[in-house]
Every structure is written in structure tokens, then in C-alpha cells.
Amino acid sequence: MSLLVANKISKNYGDLDVLENVSVRIESGDRIGLVGSNGAGKTSLLRALARIDTGFTGDLFVARETRVGFLAQDPPPAGGRTPYTELKAVFAALLAQGEQMRRLEARMNEVGQGEAELGPLLASYGKQQEAFERAGGYLVDQRIHFVLTGLGLDRALWHAPLSHLSGGQRTRVSLGRLLLEEPDVLLLDEPTNHLDVRSMGWLEGVLTGWKGALVVVSHDRYFLDAVATRIWDLSSRRVESYRGNYSHYRQQREERYALWRKEYERQQKYIRDTQEFVRRYKAGQRTKEAQGRETRLNRFMEQEALPPPPAEQRIRLPLRSNSRSGDLVLRTRKLVAGYRIEPPAGGAARGKSDESGSVDGRPTVNPGRLLANAGGVEDGTASVGRGLPKPQGRLRPMRTLASSDTPVLEVPDLDLNRGQVVALIGPNGAGKTTFVRTILEELEPLTGRVELGASVEVGYLAQRHTGARFGLMQSSQTVLDALLEIKRLPTVRARTFLGQFLFSGDDVFQTIESLSGGERSRVALARLILQGANFLLLDEPTNHLDLDSQLILQDALRQFSGTIMLVTHDRALVDALATQIWHVERGESGQPGRMELFKGTWRQWQQERSVAEKGAVANPVETGQSEAQAERERQRSDRRRRQQAERREQAAAEAEQRIERLESRLETVERAMAEASLAQELERLHTLQESHRSLTTQLETLMEEWAAMAV
């Protein structure tokens, strides 16, 4: 059954055509991934399908009583509600039924036994209670808990005003509300933008079981592979449909384009041969034949000729290091990262650093340590191109944690060697950025130390590309100036270099603030590559890049000869490149977060987690241990994991049995309530209602405990 049909949809912004005669159809059960380059018109198409934007031409048909839900990229306005009340508003009509039932209960308590009015009240109450239970009225709070927890929103924020939440957190609340509303057609524009790895996995599970249809725009290849069963490719203002997930789409698209190119080349040969025949014989003895061929050629060109295959513009990433680092690239010892508050010699206390990378307005970066993404600026002069002195493994004296310090992350002793690729992953707010800023010497360690190895040159790609922090571009800079800040190149050579990142002609004179997110990412990558650093510290490097550019970046990083640290939620990138996983868990009750070290690939780490979720990871074998010792250690670790898994399974089984007993008691109480209602036994009915509420609360609590065991 077709839920939504769009026929010849066109959209333009002034002289810019974004969509041209786009015809698509959404069937019941469709899970569609909408892909295309940045600026191709994906958001415009979603807004048209959702009727958020009605400034398009063409026809849009929506099946009767079909509800369409739309999630925008931009965060919604912050209202006066809290996340909990915002989601609870979805069930306003159902909760109103519950309130009506409570008023009936109060009325029945007022009416005495045997009065004529009691019978109709009991009959009405029985019907309302059955409808309320069938609609899930007793499970509203449980469903809200499930969604807010799954989306990774801290419980401390559930009852905070939305105005106190960040834009990303408000977007998560909007997504949660949509999931609870369960529209027939769900249109999602970049739903994974503000989710961590665990929340993305949760959302994948919800969407793969979605009863309605959905269309999702995403730059997350892993997500599209898990969720999508069809792909819409928006290119050159048109939509091409492909069966299967994103990986299937790429294979089919390449086959389709290869066939297209082959047919086009054959067509062009036919055109050239015909034109040559007409030129040679039109004025000779074979004039009529030549004229006939010319007529057929003209008809062919008008009615049958294939357009040229799309000439795809793709960035080039000649990623290489100018020097070789020592074998040891990064080392930490007894490190606790966080924020320090201590009075300086001058008097005033130092506070937490703000988003600009300063403490109380003063920059905290040591420019001698960092070969920065934006180029070093020292006394107003760009200096990275001339080369900055780089201390090799400078040590600071160890200190103890002061009561005024704010620890954010406890870091195990780490040794990162040359050529390795580490993925630093974990939930938002767990301390990943604090750790990175400690490596870059923007923050001093609260305790312990961080050391860079010999000849290590750091290239830093920040998640936010502009700002006042050292290493970021200035909004007022032009693209050309932003590149020349890194290295003084002849203008012609600089413009040629920028051409590899799709900046041509007058594009190089655009200001950074006028660029889209994807264009800023390309400028940042150009600056990073020009540095020639041998240790790349990349914070969400695939943000704002289209899917093809992500694959190009992935291939470039795979061929890079230096060392890489990826701070990312892009599971496809981690899966393709990482040789180690550093997983950060957020601390509880004001405690600092902790980092878990896993020496292996993403898939190996996932397998370990599936066997021993939240348990001990495979213990790394220390250098110098014999093979026999290592084998014994592995066996002990395996036994511990099996025992932990068995204990969890036993606890979960016991919880299931308790749940079954509670559900059985609930059924018994509900039958008794129905009997009391029919017999008009008011006091007994009131007692049974209290029992029902108590049992329902116990069941909800036990279900939450069981769900935590089963994760």
C-alpha cells in the first residue's frame, strides 16, 4: 500500500534549482536511506514530503489518515517543559482517560452500596479500565524511561527545563517524542548527529522493528547498512532508487554507472561515425543515403540519446607526513584529566576553561607543543610554516589531587606506538575532549603526566573548525588566507592545492563564515594535509562530509604512514581503521569517568562485549611474559567472563520468574476486579485497585532491572 506519493516535485531557491521533476513513492514497511552530496537537496526533499515547506511545484498525495512525522536537523525551540513532560505530552489523551477513571473512582466511593447509581458507574468504569489497559495506559512511564535511556539523555536532565539543554539534547528529545508518537511515515534528517555509539545501536534496533515506513538522511554508513532496505540517491536534482542497504547500493551504483559509461561511449562512436559519413557523402553519389542517416541521427539525438554520465567531483587527499616519529608516540602515567582551580601568584583564582580554549579569557595552549590545524600564531605572525620548536617528551613534576580540582577522566597507563590507529570512543560528556585537550597541553594534568615521543609532530583536526581557540580558523578569513596561514605558498600553487578540495575560481575568496559545514570540513582537511604531521589527532573527522568523501578520507588514512587517534562516533571508520579501542565510560555521582583499553579491532571489541557486557576485557599480556604465562592468563580471563555471564544469566532468569509471578498475580487481581465490578462490591473493588497499582509499580521496577541485565 502506498502511504505517500510525490509526482514531479521541483524546488528552487531563486536561480538555483535544487529538485527537478522528482517522483518517489513510499510504501508501507519501507525503510529508505536518502543519500547524496552536501547541498544536493536532501533536506529540501524531506521538508517537501513532510509539507513543512510548501513552496514547491508538483503533486504530493498522502493516504487518508496517514500521519507523517518529521525530525529536523536544527534543534527545536526551547519551551518551558522538561524532557519528561515533553514526552509525556504524547500520551495526553490517554492520561486524560486515566484522570477520568480516577474521578469515577472518587464518585463510586461517594455512592453507597446498593444505590441505583452505583451499577452504571461500575459498568462504565469497567469498560474504561479495559480500554485504558489495552492502550498501554499503565505502561506510559515505562515507555518514556525506555526512550530517554535509549537516547542517552542523562537522568539528571529528565526534569530540567528544555531551555537548560543544549541544541543536541533538545534534538534527542524531539526524536524521542516522534518515536513515541509512532507516525505512519517517519522522516528523519540526520537523527544520529548527536548520539553516541551505544545510543545509535539502540536507535538501529528501534527503527529496524518500525511498524510504519521511514525515510532517513544520514552520513553514517554503518547506520544505513543496519536500517535501510532501499536507498534513494539524490544527484543532479533527480532521485534514483536502489534495492538493499548502503553497501548494496554502492555496488549497484557502480555497476549501473559502468554500464551507462559503456553505452554512452558506444553512442558517441555511433554519432561520430554517422556525422563522418554524412560529411563525406552528403555532396557525392550517396547523397540520399547520407541525408537519410542525418535525419535518423537528428531524431535519435532528440528522442533516444543518453545524457552523459554524471561527472562526479571528488576531493583528493594526498595525506603524508614530512618526517618520521620515534617508535613511542604518546605515553601517559597515572593520569587524571580535568580542570584545576588554584590561585596564581597574582591573586585571582583560575577557573574552568571555556569553549574558546581559554581560562578566564586567557589562552591556555602552549604553541611550542602543537603543530596546529590553523597554524601557529605568535605575536600576530603565522609561524607553523617556518617550523616551531617541539619539546620531546617534556616531563612535569607529579602532583596530588587537590580538593578544589574537578577530575573528569581517569586514564590508565597508555603507550601508543608509531603506525597504530586508536579510536577514542564513548558517550558525549564522558571526558574525551578533556583528554584530547590535555594531550595538546591546553589543560594541565591534575595528576600524572602525558609525554609525546621523539620527533612527534601533532596535526589536530578540531570538531569545531572556527573559534578563538588556538588551532581554529577565524570566521572572517577567506579560504585562501586560511590555507596560507599554515604555510606560505605562491598564490597559484595554493589555489591549485585548494582545487583538490573542490574550491575553484572565486571560491577561494569566500569567507569561512559563509561556507557550509561540509565546505569548512574540506578547508580544515586541506590545512591538516599541508602540515605534514606524523601524529594525527582527529576529532569527528567525517562530520559534515558526504558519504563519498568519507570513503576517500578513509582510504587516505588507511595509507597514512604515521600514527592516528580518532575521536569519533563513526563506527564504519573505526571498523575500517582502528587497531586499538580506547573506550571512555561516564562517571557516576560526581565521580570521574574511566577509560578501558582494548588492543584489537572494532569487531573484536564488539565480540568481547557481547560475551561479557560491561565485564572485564581481555587482560593485555605484559611484555616479557612467556607464552605459557600468557595462555594461563587468557584461560583465567575466559573463566571470569564465563562466570560473569552465567551470573548475569541466572539473575536475569530469576528476574523473569519474578516477572511471570507478578504478571500472574496481576491477571488474578484484574479478574477479581471485573467480578467485583459486576457484583457491585465497592469496598472490595477499591482494595483491589490499590493492589493493582502496587503490583504495576513493582512490575515496572522489575522490568527495568531485567532490561539492564539483558543489555
For the segment 241-296, what is each residue's pLDDT rounded down to a tens digit?
999 999 999 899 889 888 988 999 999 999 999 999 988 888 777 888 888 989 99
In this prediction, residue 706 has a pLDDT band, given cuts at 50, 70 and 90, of: low
Determine the Cα–Cα distance for residues 217 and 235; give it in Å rounded to an integer: 14
Whether 184 shows a pLDDT value over 90: the answer reads: yes
Q: What does pTM read for this prediction?
A: 0.69
In this prediction, residue 709 has a pLDDT band, given cuts at 50, 70 and 90, of: low
Q: Which pLDDT does position 359 carry in this prediction?
A: 36
Q: Which residue has the higher pLDDT, 614 or 670?
A: 670
* Digit-coded pLDDT (tens) for 605-635: 888 877 765 444 334 333 334 455 555 565 5
In this prediction, residue 704 has a pLDDT band, given cuts at 50, 70 and 90, of: low
Determine the Cα–Cα distance for residues 698 and 706; give it in Å rounded to an integer: 12
Whether 55 shows a pLDDT value over 90: the answer reads: no
Q: Which is nearest to 63 in space by CA: 118, 38, 26? A: 26
How would you classify residue 36: left for phi > 0, otherwise alpha for psi between -120 and 50, otherwise beta? left
Q: Which pLDDT does position 31 carry in this prediction?
A: 95
Residue given cell 578544589 in the structure block: 404
Q: Which pLDDT does position 394 carry in this prediction?
A: 45
In this prediction, residue 360 has a pLDDT band, given cuts at 50, 70 and 90, of: very low
* Digit-coded pLDDT (tens) for 466-500: 654 556 778 888 888 888 888 888 888 888 888 88
Buried b (16+ CB within 10 A) or exposed e, 602-621: beebeebeeebeebebbeee
Q: Tell me which CATH code domain 328-342+351-421+430-577 carries.
A: 3.40.50.300
Q: Which pLDDT does position 393 carry in this prediction?
A: 44
> Listing from the earlier edge strand, what are the strands of the sheet with 31-35?
68-71, 185-189, 213-217, 31-35, 230-235, 238-243
Determine the Cα–Cα distance for residues 41 and 35; give it in Å rounded to an integer: 10
Q: Which residue has the higher pLDDT, 113 or 507?
A: 507
Mean pLDDT check: name the lowest of 388-392, 657-661, 703-707.
388-392
Cell for 560?
A: 597514512
What does the pLDDT average to over 507-517? Answer: 83
Q: Which pLDDT does position 27 carry in this prediction?
A: 93
The domain 1-78+183-244 belongs to what CATH superfamily? P-loop containing nucleotide triphosphate hydrolases (3.40.50.300)
* Helix, strand, coil percentages for the chain (3-state, nearest 5): 45, 20, 35
Report the sign of the C-alpha dihedral through residues 196, 199, 203, 205, in that order.
positive
Whether 312 shows a pLDDT value over 70: the answer reads: no
Q: How many CA atoms lie within 13 A of 189 on its CB side?
A: 20
Residue given cell 552530496 in the structure block: 37
**Cβ contact 685:676 at 8 Å:** yes
% of the chain beyond a pLDDT of 70 = 82
* Digit-coded pLDDT (tens) for 213-234: 999 999 889 999 999 999 999 9
Domain boundaries, the chain: 1-78+183-244, 249-303, 328-342+351-421+430-577, 643-710
User: Would you give the end-to-end CA distance of the chain in angstroms?
Assistant: 36
In this prediction, residue 126 has a pLDDT band, given cuts at 50, 70 and 90, of: confident
* DSSP state for residue 699 in the 8-state scheme: H
Strands (E), 63-108: 68-71
* Digit-coded pLDDT (tens) for 234-243: 988 889 999 9
What does the pLDDT average to over 3-29? Answer: 88
* Digit-coded pLDDT (tens) for 528-583: 888 888 999 998 888 878 888 888 888 888 888 899 999 988 889 999 999 999 99
What does the pLDDT average to over 125-139? Answer: 85
Q: Which pLDDT does position 688 carry in this prediction?
A: 84
Q: Which residue has the higher pLDDT, 650 or 289?
A: 289
**Cβ contact 587:606 at 8 Å:** no
Whether 4 shows a pLDDT value over 70: the answer reads: yes
- Quick count: other Cβ atoms within 10 Å of Cβ 109? 12
The residues with which 659 forms a beta bridge, in sequence order, are none
Shared fold status for 1-78+183-244 and 328-342+351-421+430-577: yes
Residue given cell 606524523 in the structure block: 534
Angle between helices 627-679 and 682-710 (to 10 degrees): 160
Q: Which pLDDT does position 352 carry in this prediction?
A: 42
Determine the Cα–Cα distance for residues 612 and 649; give it in Å rounded to an integer: 11
**Cβ contact 473:519 at 8 Å:** no
Q: Which pLDDT does position 380 carry in this prediction?
A: 30
State residue 611 phi and psi, 5-degree precision. -80, -45
**Cβ contact 409:430 at 8 Å:** yes
Determine the Cα–Cα distance for residues 280 and 214; give it in Å rounded to an integer: 58
**Cβ contact 443:336 at 8 Å:** no
Whether 378 shows a pLDDT value over 50: the answer reads: no
Q: Which pLDDT does position 48 carry in this prediction?
A: 92
Determine the Cα–Cα distance for residues 690 and 687; give it in Å rounded to an integer: 5
Q: Which is nearest to 62 in space by CA: 181, 179, 185? A: 185
Q: Which pLDDT does position 642 carry in this prediction?
A: 60
Indicate the Cα dihedral angle 704, 706, 710, 711, nearest 10°.
Answer: 20
Whether 177 shows a pLDDT value over 80: the answer reads: yes
Mean pLDDT of the chain: 80
Whether 131 shows a pLDDT value over 60: the answer reads: yes
Cell for 256?
A: 549501473
Q: Which residue has the higher pLDDT, 31 or 632?
A: 31
